[in-house]
Structure 1
Amino acid sequence: MRTAIARHLVGRALGGLSLLEPARRGPRADLSGPVITLHDPDAFYRRIGSDGLIGFGEAYMAGEWDSSDLPGVLTRLAAHVDELVPAPLRGLRSWWVAARPSNDRNTPSGARRNIHRHYDLSNELFAAFLDTTLTYSSAVFQAFPARLEYLQAAQHRKIDRLLDLARVGEGTKLLEIGTGWGELALRAAARGAQVTTLTLSAEQAHLARSRIHAAGLTDRVEVQLRDYRDIEGRFDAVVSVEMIEAVGAEYWPDYFTALGQALAPGGRIALQAITMGHQQMLNTAATHTWISKYVFPGGLIPSRKAIAEHAAAAELCILADDGYGRHYAETLRLWREQFTAQRPAVTALGFDTVFQRMWEFYLAYSEAGFRSRYLDVRHILLSEGPHR
């Protein structure tokens, strides 16, 4: 029954958007847009009937559908997401979407496990599609469309903006929550800052330390395998890049409290955060999605409202909040194109076709979120509230 319902509802929705290949042959079909080619319609609808949007992504991983313009298909779906299910049936959402698994909660042990599942996959895997800075977050470009040869400069531009927001310079005592592979810490140390940077990824910590040693900056940067809840000391500046999305809504109060407690009087906090609309966030928080199952277990993208409320509760005030989602769409496009070009190298690392299709879907899915403006990415400046 669920398969039959999925065939009717999903087929009708995709056909209405002219996304199904047969629909292009109709007299009113949009012949210019992206299209889905179903290789195994029965399996495709069966997966969606069983697992909803998780099944949609799994069907792509299994090779049951394809598209010559995957981000185009996903962008169109994201732009019309509220129209895909008829209004009278939206109240039945809980009937066909799964709840988030309790073992994905970001407890201290759960957070280490969740970070390990993504960031410890392989440093070589990430190096295959990132630029030489190994920066795994949105860049800031000077011109569009972005070009791969300018990605390194665009990542440095992003890092410099965050360091400028936090007023990081000679002698600054800086805390970074979320090391990545060390590029921000390296750039801050080159300004003369004394950097403490935290990560839960053993693979990232190992490579970041190697890069810091190679740059001759071990006296200025300390990489700690430490949870943000275990921060020690107070700092002139705190920077955290796309870390809040991995915290989980349950622990946002702990995260903002940790930010505030780490800040020395007069200090500044610079965040780079992906955001979504508040109602979309509430819906997603209660749902086990394809992204939470395969890519970022335990994570949740916050809304601007959620950030403002949790910051205020931690006695922090927002001094600046600037969005630049178009830049992330371009960053993801370049990563996706580079990943596709590096498929032979990824295969040699031991990642099979199913994984590669999963990763391609993840990058295109994320790109679509920003192109449709369902998602945004923001630079947010915080300081102590005026009442402290």
Structure 2
Amino acid sequence: MSLTLPRRNSYDPGVDAVRWPDVASLPPGGYRAKAARALFAHVARRMELQILLPDGTNIGAGGPDTPVLRLVRPAALHRRLGNGGLIGFGEAYLAGDWTADDLTTVLTVFCRRMATLVPPSLQRLRDVAVHRHPHTERGTAENARRNISRHYDLSNDLFALFLDETLTYSAALFGPGDGSDAAAATTTWDDLADAQRRKIDRLLDAAGVRAGSSVLEIGTGWGELALRAAARGATVRSITLSEEQRTLALQRVAAAGLGDRVSIELCDYRAAQGQYDAVVSVEMIEAVGYDFWPEYFATLHRLVTPGGRIGLQAITMPHDRMLASRYTYTWIHKYVFPGGLIPSVESVESSAAQAGLTVTARHGFGRHYAETLRLWRDRFAARATEVEALGFDATFRRMWEFYLCYSEAGFRAEYLDVNQFVLTREEG
């Protein structure tokens, strides 16, 4: 493989340099690129993949029946890896420096090796080598609305193109509700809306939501949970930081004739007032951030009545990986979800306990999230022309594809899980 690197100004992947500056150009080469080349070769020799150079040479450990990763511009990939690590790896995909015949399967192989990608002898240099979260993206009350807006206010029409009719943007629960892998293995698009309703109903049941309940929802989404809770006869206050989501959710509430039971407000969780029989929150904790978990759980304790229940759905990761990566700035942070951190089961339990809450039940269904994401990415790919018509360019579409495939891979590799927790506050 040649070590000749393209001149910075000669590199042109055909990407809008104003919108995607770090994709359109290359970082400097030098010793970092050479070190990244050596490290990538070391990793490749341990991966059950075909990793093909432009001349067809396979530097991976996989045979002819294993997934294929194709290096289009190896030297460019090395520069990006040397400067940005896994951020650079993702940017290289956006630029077309590498591609894959089946992106999800390739990324699943990487996810299975996530804890051992970097040799132990180099892992002690992690604190020096990795990027740290920008101060402007920490989950403070001042930053949180901007963080949320960057993702959830992209366009309601964009999300509607790949979500089902419930507009639910979290893990669905397929089958009879027991979380079985068999139920998730035979899913189709036609199953998705019912699976989303099943997930919501299970969480509402676990939180004890019934006719007459007062409910606080933290993180409105596009309103489906609030609608289903109100249809049970509950009174729901839902809070969000997304103006786009709030606008559409209010329209849906009005169309359902439930405006007397549901209010939706722009409000940070820290500013919420009152006490409620049940507090529910679906996949919002991931945006809170490690440093703010104590305040988040203390807020839950303050908002639920003594003897009340909290229904919390959260993506989770292994505890050791959470501790190792809690301050790391990742590709997902830079391009998809600024700020935040996926918790571990242990961190949820310990943070809850420190706030005076007890986890009384937990239900995991990670395989179901993998299937949910598969359906979303298939739908997104099928409607690429409509996505383009909304003004999202080819690099955005490639970025979104990488995001969905990378997320799905995490669940298929069982590096990620999703859990519904029930938390209680003691009487008195």
Normalised by the size of structure 1, how large is the TM-score?
0.97
Contact 2:220 2:240 in 1 (8 A): yes
Whole-angstrom CA distance in 1 between matches of 2:59 and 2:228: 56
Whole-angstrom CA distance in 1 between matches of 2:57 and 2:113: 18
> Of 222, 237, 241, which aligns to 2:282?
241
> Which residue in the other structure is 2:52 paired with?
21
CA deviations 1:48-95 (Å, max 9, x no partner) are: 111100000000111111111111111100101233222211111223
The amino acid across from 2:344 in the alignment is S
Whole-angstrom CA distance in 1 between matches of 2:396 and 2:309: 40
Contact 2:50 2:58 in 1 (8 A): no
> Of 405, 423, 427, which aligns to 1:364?
405
> Which residue in the other structure is 1:119 paired with?
152
1:15–1:341 Cα change, 3 Å:
farther
1:223 aligns with 2:272: no
Whole-angstrom CA distance in 2 between matches of 1:82 and 1:224: 41
1:277–1:307 Cα change, 3 Å:
same
The amino acid across from 2:94 in the alignment is M
Whole-angstrom CA distance in 2 between matches of 1:125 and 1:332: 16
Whole-angstrom CA distance in 2 between matches of 1:191 and 1:185: 10
> Which residue in the other structure is 1:288 paired with?
329
**Percent of counterpart pairs with the same letter?**
55
Q: Which has the higher helix share?
A: 1
Contact 2:45 2:59 in 1 (8 A): no
Whole-angstrom CA distance in 2 between matches of 1:27 and 1:274: 31
Counterparts of residues 34-53 of structure 1 (less than 5 Å): 34-53=67-86
> Which residue in the other structure is 2:191 paired with?
150
> Which residue in the other structure is 1:257 paired with?
298
Structure 1 residue 232: deviation in Å?
1.4
Structure 1 residue 309: deviation in Å?
1.1
Contact 2:69 2:99 in 1 (8 A): yes
Whole-angstrom CA distance in 2 between matches of 1:178 and 1:25: 47
Contact 1:24 1:30 in 2 (8 A): no
Structure 1 residue 21: deviation in Å?
2.2
Structure 1 residue 297: deviation in Å?
0.7
Whole-angstrom CA distance in 2 between matches of 1:145 and 1:364: 19
1:19–1:103 Cα change, 3 Å:
farther
1:54 aligns with 2:87: yes
1:28–1:290 Cα change, 3 Å:
closer
Contact 1:10 1:84 in 2 (8 A): no
Whole-angstrom CA distance in 2 between matches of 1:136 and 1:260: 26
Q: Equivalent residue of 1:132, what SS?
A: coil
Q: Equivalent residue of 1:175, what SS?
A: strand
Structure 1 residue 156: deviation in Å?
0.3
Contact 1:24 1:31 in 2 (8 A): no
Q: Equivalent residue of 1:20, what SS?
A: strand
1:9 aligns with 2:39: yes
Structure 1 residue 25: deviation in Å?
5.0
1:345 aligns with 2:375: no
Whole-angstrom CA distance in 1 between matches of 2:242 and 2:319: 30
Counterparts of residues 86-101 of structure 1 (less than 5 Å): 86-101=119-134
Whole-angstrom CA distance in 1 between matches of 2:298 and 2:127: 33
CA deviations 1:341-385 (Å, max 9, x no partner) are: 111011000001111111111111111111111111001001014
> Of 120, 133, 136, which aligns to 2:166?
133
Moved more, 346-355 or 95-104: 95-104
CA deviations 1:75-117 (Å, max 9, x no partner) are: 1001012332222111112232111111111111200010011
> Which residue in the other structure is 1:67 paired with?
100
> Of 319, 340, 355, which aligns to 1:314?
355
> Which residue in the other structure is 1:161 paired with?
202
> Which residue in the other structure is 2:180 paired with?
none
RMSD between aligned residues: 1.5
CA deviations 1:227-273 (Å, max 9, x no partner) are: 11011111111110001100111111111111111111221111001
Whole-angstrom CA distance in 2 between matches of 1:266 and 1:63: 55
Structure 1 residue 226: deviation in Å?
0.5
The amino acid across from 2:269 in the alignment is Y
Whole-angstrom CA distance in 2 between matches of 1:372 and 1:204: 31
Runs of 4+ in 1 over 4 A off after TM superposition: 22-28
1:82 aligns with 2:112: no
Q: Equivalent residue of 2:172, what SS?
A: coil
Whole-angstrom CA distance in 2 between matches of 1:130 and 1:330: 13
Contact 2:301 2:425 in 1 (8 A): yes
1:224–1:70 Cα change, 3 Å:
same
1:266–1:24 Cα change, 3 Å:
farther
Q: Equivalent residue of 1:16, what SS?
A: coil
Q: Equivalent residue of 1:33, what SS?
A: coil
1:89–1:26 Cα change, 3 Å:
closer
Q: Equivalent residue of 1:219, what SS?
A: coil
> Of 108, 122, 141, which aligns to 1:108?
141
> Of 257, 266, 271, which aligns to 2:312?
271
Contact 1:19 1:73 in 2 (8 A): no
1:309–1:25 Cα change, 3 Å:
closer
The amino acid across from 1:95 in the alignment is V
